[in-house]
Structure 1
Amino acid sequence: MKFTLFCGALAVLLAVGQCDSDFRQMMQECMQSTQVTESDLKDFMASGMQSNAKDNLKCYTKCLMEKQGHLTNGQFNAQALLDTLKNIPQIQDRLEEISSGVNACKDIKGTNDCDTAFKVTMCLKEHKAMPGHH
């Protein structure tokens, strides 16, 4: 499996700094529960992570965010994400910029919890509030 590629790309997408075995396990669980395949993820990454994702990919995003504590009851928990990001050595010099981006995205709501998770993630990407985006 090409999990390293997906792991790295999704770590960036979902603002986590590392892709340890726990995160890989979360990805597997979320892929199974939302019927997202590696091919779906690869296609989405190859498309430049455009906002026209299928519903199951949006729910996959929700699943990962919930498992990380960054989404609770359909509400983005900006502080939980910032707390996670504070522990990533590679981005310490960008924390102020990233915090600004996270705060800009904190009140986004979608048509449902999956849509909210996806819209928040796309907002974070747009504001370069994720590791790996400069």
Structure 2
Amino acid sequence: MRATLALTLLLSCLTGILSQQQKLDSAVAKTLVSGCMKENGVTYQDIEDLQSGKVKPQDAKDNVKCSTQCILVKSGFMDSTGKLLTDNIKTHYANTNLSDAVEKDLERCSQVKGANACDTAFQIVGCFEGA
């Protein structure tokens, strides 16, 4: 279940988060996600395999992980080195009913480190989804 939640974030959840946090319309958010997928060679089959459990999160391809990083960087939530930009995230959620939950998740997940920036982004997304 945790794997499905974490990986669904790549498309549906991240699109919703980006729309809410940056006041982007759905088309712009989908364009951002699609652009990062294309930039990193991620196919919809790759995402479907992760969502269905055919591929486990620990076996996710590097291009999927880098697509996650791309989305977070372009949304302003992570820098190119894999550092989560917690102040930007807090600011985006400051006036929402999710601000307390985001604060708690940031405390728990902001120190997650992977093997590289892409892996870090992927693991952070998994940490948030596993809350």
Superposition TM-score, scaled by structure 1 size: 0.73
Assess, with a 3 A threshold, how the Cα gap between structure 1 residues 104 and 49 changes in structure 2: closer, same or farther: farther
Contact 1:34 1:59 in 2 (8 A): yes
Partner of 1:29: 35
Contact 1:58 1:117 in 2 (8 A): yes
Structure 2 gaps, min length 5: 1-9
Q: Residues 55-105 of structure 1, C-alpha deviation per residue, up to 9 Å, x if partnerless?
A: 111001000000001110321112212222345x5xx1x431231012211
Q: How far apart, CA to CA, are the structure 2 residues paired with 1:122 and 1:48?
A: 17
**Alpha-carbon deviation of 1:11?**
3.4
* Aligned partner (choices 62, 87, 92) of residue 79 of structure 1: 87
Partner of 2:70: 63
4+ residue runs over 3 A deviation: 9-12, 15-19
Give RMSD over aligned pairs. Answer: 2.4
**Alpha-carbon deviation of 1:49?**
8.7
Q: Does 1:11 pair with 2:15?
A: yes
Partner of 2:107: 103
SS in 1 for 2:126: helix
Q: Residues 109-129 of structure 1, C-alpha deviation per residue, up to 9 Å, x if partnerless?
A: 1111100101111111112xx
Count of aligned positions: 116
Partner of 1:132: none
Q: How far apart, CA to CA, are the structure 1 residues paired with 2:54 and 2:108?
A: 22
Partner of 1:47: 53
Give the structure with the larger helix fraction. Answer: 2
Q: Which deviates further from its counterpart, 23-32 or 58-67?
A: 23-32
Structure 1 gaps, min length 5: 1-5, 128-134
Q: Which deviates further from its counterpart, 111-120 or 95-104?
A: 95-104
